[in-house]
Structure 1
Amino acid sequence: MSKESYRKDKNGWSYICVRGTAAQRGYEHGRLLAEEIVTGIREAKELAILQTGLSWDCFLYDAGSILHKWREVLRREPYLEFYEEMEAIAEGVCSVRPEAGITVDDIILWNGFEELTNYWLPTTVDAIYERLPGQGGGRTRKHFISGAHDHCSAFIATGSYTADGRIVLAHNSFTPYENSNHSNVIQYVEPDKGYPFIMQSQPGYIHSMSDFYLTKTGKGQGLMISETTIGGFCAYEPEGVPEFARIRLAVQYADTLNLFVEKFWKHNNGGYANTWLVGDVGTNEIMRFEAGLKFFKVDKTTDGYYAGFNAPEDPRIRNLECDNCGYGDIRRHQGARQVRIPQLMERYKGAIDSGTAKQILSDHYDVYLGKENPCSRTVCSHYELDERAYMSQPGRPVPFQPRGAVDGLVAAAEDAESLALHARWGSSCGMPFYVEPFLEKHPQFNYLRPYLKDRPTRPWTRWEAEESGGTAQR
């Protein structure tokens, strides 16, 4: 065991510290989280067939799989170190669980699972269907008209909106519970090149995916980074670079807001399209960066806030690259939070800090019904409680789907200076979820039983990086 790497477990979270070259940090990552990586990939393989009808082997070996293009672009600069890191993660896993047979291709697909199933696959499902062996011929008429899924609530605030005039960042993840069993990893990464950072993540991931990062680019300097997905997004360019590699490059090497945009946007493929909320700790300037495929929009301020609610403000992205994104529809969670988050920002104006940020993430006010009502439309979402009586888009998601806010992440600028964050595993508000009572009431979801886990109430926990004090090569 390297004295520079270690693991801690507390309040539902697993925290790992890895340092060094791509090979060093990857190997230690794989070794420290081997059991969780094996379990996570096994569940992903089973969920792939359950949710798409296609096997993991199809994604690995089909001639048209995007994996082959991803592997090619990841072996080129400036992304090569991330491929080497993923190779080393697989090696670290195999040092503990050799019988599992985890390969670098498994790690790549695992890192890109969201993009694989919700961005690339809808563009090519007809061609894949024609190549599948079966009992007959023919073509499919399957179409993914609803666009990409949407996942989060978030805000970033600065200036007169915060208690000390500095930046506050907050985020929670809206996710089907069966897909979020492993988002309880906090990684501190101190690379030999670039800047150290801390992030919420998953075992085996080189990026966050739930997307909460703090970076340290100098004394009192760094970036605070989060996002919300753009719901209904349906544009994709398979020749580009997967989002998980582009965001990792921007996180590890950008020291300004402009450089973050530049590094993320280069080789853009539209995968996992997001509204990025980024703050500069040194200048207190914050940015909203809406990144589509052909279009992007950047807004900045040193006095104000930006809210993330899964719908884009840019009318080009909203109308030309999305299908029914829910913008302005308060029957939907996008439109409802488009109204509610600004209400909360004004209520707490001048007092927003890490404590009030936790309260905002825990909010259960339903603007459509005008009352406290934890449901799909609230900042802390609870789809499992929602009969979806007011759906404007039937089937997305279905009534009482086991889905909702599975975490809460908060950081103020003073936290970011020491690479520290406040995290809650489980619903942002602390409301528990227990599998057996839920399935007894909603047996239509029994098919998900193997993948649903109890989510008891857990406390907020502050995680802080323990830096080595060394100077990384830029």
Structure 2
Amino acid sequence: MVVMINTKTIISILLVVLITAPVTTATLTHEQQDKTTLKTENALTIGKGSRYNIQGLIYVHIEGTPYERGFQHGYLLSGEIIDMITRWSNIIHNMPVIGSFTGTPGSAKYYKTSEKWWEFCKTRAMKIYWNDYPPEYQQEIKGIADGVNAKDETIFERKVTYEDILTLNEMYEFMSRLLAPHKSIHPFRSLFYSIKSFVPDIPDNEEKTFVTTMLQQPPAHHCSGFIATGNATTHGQMVISDSVWFGNWWFSYYIAQRWNVILDVTPGNGNRFIISTSPGYIWSDEDYYQNEKGIAFIETTCPQGLWRDKGLPLAVRARNAAQYGDSIDDVIYYLTHNSDGIMNAVWLIGDAKTGEIARLETGLYVYSVQRTFNGFYWSANNPMDIRVRSEELRLASIYKGRVYQLLHLLLKTEGYQYYTREYRPSNRDIKFEELGKEYYGRIDTEVVKKIMSTHPIVDMSSDCKITDSYL
């Protein structure tokens, strides 16, 4: 991986393979009808910032002080940012049980419900997250909001605020937290009545159905990752790849397809870095990161385990790792230090300077690391370390795993492997290991494209990002 110098070099570093995936979830009824009008521009510059569209992607370069680069970001992606807020606002219409009472697309009721849901999320996100963002990132977020407003864009017939941009950045973490509560005796009952306060048409007798349905929701296992180095690759180079998965009611293709921004950031302090991200985000959230020090890292999220109110959100930890991390040790420190535990994950990390790669599994209080200069690792949302798994899987989850395991024996269904105390390979784990061994010594970007495009690894993927030491 070379030091990033110009736009041509930047765009070549991130080889993005757009994979067409079938939208199979039944919760897309509202989304398929919801045709949001999107204002977009092919090429635009402001100050030191610029954007252009390429093969379904949007390349954006920003630089300067936190506020300056934020303003450039908001100005260059104003229409897309409004579109992304709209999409997150509309996921309420897919919520189990609730979606039947929120109105039809285009109706005043539908619009008002989206607005109320966004306000619900924003109020809570600000209370939970804003004070955990360092001043540098707060200023960047305020700049994004002002940049959007400079283009006279509006959301719900009002100007965009920094609170909107903060909420946009935290929606995945907020939803993970909202749907994995640990402090309330009846958390989903409380959620039901919170939503009923702005969707009053929901009958009280739907409460039991709502709670039961939410408890039975399948996990949101997102992303697949692969990394190789040394004698596993053609010339000893490091190769790393990540693909995004989608598939439940709140992270469907309607949301995932908007992760089509390649954001190239030259900050006043720290490293120049690239992330694959969504409009308005100061971090990847997919997660794909690389910087000018030859560091690249990706993430696949695991079933949500223990978390706490204190600690830094992943948005801050991952952004710090990209902007200020110079080594694998730095990245591990930033990702694990003072964590709030939300979005515990398996991370694959590579250092093009040394050729070393690592697999990091994170919980709240424990984490594990594997490192090598020769070989490959993969990630399919399935931790291997028993300490990490034990922390993530509470009794209810282990019980669910036993039920899923019985279904696997009877009906050959998949999914139980994520809920056993000891590691059991899922179908993706098995395929990754099989292909890694098959191509050992011949792995390069072209081979990794084949690996990431193979069933079941490719199933429900919306994209794929690949880079290596040469790029």
How high is the TM-score relative to the length of structure 1?
Answer: 0.73
Q: Does 1:12 align with 2:56?
A: yes
Give the Cα–Cα distance (whole angstroms) in 1 for the partners of residues 356 and 308 of structure 2. Answer: 32
Structure 1 partner of 2:162: 104
Match of 2:65 among 10, 21, 29: 21
Answering whether residue 421 of structure 2 is matched by residue 350 of structure 1, we say no
In structure 2, what is the Cα distance between the partners aligned to 1:359 and 1:309? 16
CA, structure 1 residues 235+408, in 2 after alignment: closer, same or farther (shift >3 Å)? Answer: same
Following TM superposition, by how much is the alpha carbon of 1:233 offset from its aligned partner in structure 2, in angstroms?
2.1
Alignment pair present for 1:114 and 2:145: no
Question: Is 2:434 the counterpart of 1:361?
Answer: no
Partners of 2:323 and 2:353 in 1: CA distance = 17
Contact 2:231 2:374 in 1 (8 A): yes
Partner Cα separation in structure 2 for residue 332 and residue 137 of structure 1 = 35
* Counterparts of 2:372 and 2:121, CA distance in 1: 43
Rounded Cα–Cα distance in structure 2 between residues aligned with 1:303 and 1:122:
38
Distance 1:118 1:252 in 2: 25
Counterpart Cα distance in 2 of 1:189 and 1:38: 21
**Structure 2: distance between partners of 1:89 and 1:183:** 17
Is the counterpart of residue 278 in structure 1 residue 342 in structure 2? no
Kept after mapping to 2: 8 A contact 1:118/1:149: no
Q: 8 Å contact 1:119–1:234 — kept in the other structure?
A: no
User: What amino acid sits opposite 1:39 in the alignment?
Assistant: D
Q: Look up the SS of the partner of 2:321 in the other structure.
A: helix
Q: 1 CA distance for matches of 2:340 and 2:382? A: 19
Structure 1: segments with no counterpart, 5+ residues: 365-377, 382-403, 416-474
Equivalent residue runs for 1:27-176 within 5 Å: 27-51=71-95, 53=98, 55-61=117-123, 65-74=124-133, 79-100=134-155, 101-123=159-181, 124-131=187-194, 133=197, 134=200, 141=211, 144=215, 148-175=219-246, 176=252
SS for the counterpart of 2:46 is coil
Aligned with 1:205 (options 267, 275, 281): 281
Matched residue, 1:339: 430
Give, in whole Å, the separation in 1 of the partners of 2:329 and 2:189. Answer: 39
Deviation at 1:34? Answer: 0.4
Residue number among 384, 403, 407 corresponding to 1:313 in the alignment = 384
Distance (Å, rounded) in 2 between the aligned partners of 1:346 and 1:304: 9
Which of 330, 334, 337 is 1:266 aligned to? 337
* Inter-partner Cα distance in structure 1 for 2:363 and 2:216: 17
In the alignment, is the contact (CA less than 8 A) between 2:125 and 2:167 conserved in 1? Answer: no
Counterparts of residues 375-454 of structure 1 (less than 5 Å): 378-381=456-459, 404-415=460-471
Separation in structure 1 between the aligned mates of residue 346 and residue 189 of structure 2, nearest angstrom: 29
Q: Which amino acid aligns with 1:47?
A: I
Contact 1:155 1:305 in 2 (8 A): yes
Tell me the amino acid that sits aligned with residue 171 of structure 2.
Answer: F
Match of residue 216, structure 1, among 278, 292, 309: 292
Q: Distance in 1 between matches of 2:305 and 2:458?
A: 26
Secondary structure of the residue aligned to 2:465 is strand
Following superposition, the deviation at residue 239 of structure 1 comes to 2.2
Q: Deviations over 1:298-317 (max 9, x none)?
A: 11111111110111111122
Alignment-mate amino acid for residue 236 of structure 1: W
Counterpart CA distance in 1 for 2:243 and 2:234 is 21
Cα offset for 1:177?
1.1
Which AA in structure 2 matches 1:380? V
One of 260, 265, 280 as aligned partner of 1:184: 260
Matched with 1:253 is 324
Gaps of 5+ in 2: 1-44, 99-115, 182-186, 247-251, 416-424
Q: Matched residue of 2:131: which SS?
A: helix
Q: Which amino acid aligns with 2:469?
A: A
User: How has the CA–CA distance of structure 1 residues 145 and 292 changed in structure 2, closer, same or farther, with 3 Å as cutoff?
Assistant: farther
| Mean CA deviation greater in 318-327 or 146-155 | 318-327
Q: Secondary structure at the match of 1:89?
A: helix
SS at match of 2:279: coil
Distance 1:15 1:225 in 2: 20
Amino acid at match of 2:316: A
Q: Is the 8 A contact 1:119 1:148 kept in 2?
A: no
Q: Which residue of 2 aligns with 1:448?
A: none
Matched with 1:458 is: none
Distance 2:427 2:190 in 1: 38
Question: Is the aligned partner of 1:2 residue 2:73?
Answer: no
Report the number of matched residues.
368
SS at 1:44's partner residue?
helix
Q: Which amino acid aligns with 1:332?
A: E
Separation in 2 of the partners of 1:122 and 1:49? Answer: 20
Question: What is the CA distance between 1:211 and its match in structure 2?
Answer: 1.2
Query: What is the CA distance between 1:146 and its match in structure 2?
Result: 5.6
Go from structure 1 to structure 2 and tell me whether the alpha carbon gap of 1:191 and 1:144 turns closer, same or farther (over 3 Å shift). Answer: farther
Distance 1:127 1:67 in 2: 20
User: 1:127 Cα deviation (Å)?
Assistant: 3.9
Q: Take 2:138 and 2:178, find their aligned partners in 1: how far apart are those partners?
A: 20
- The match for 1:460 is none
Moved more, 339-348 or 322-331: 322-331
User: What secondary structure is seen at the aligned counterpart in 2 of 1:174?
Assistant: coil
- Percent identity, please: 27
Q: Does the CA contact (< 8 Å) of 1:69 and 1:239 recur in 2?
A: no
Distance 2:276 2:445 in 1: 17
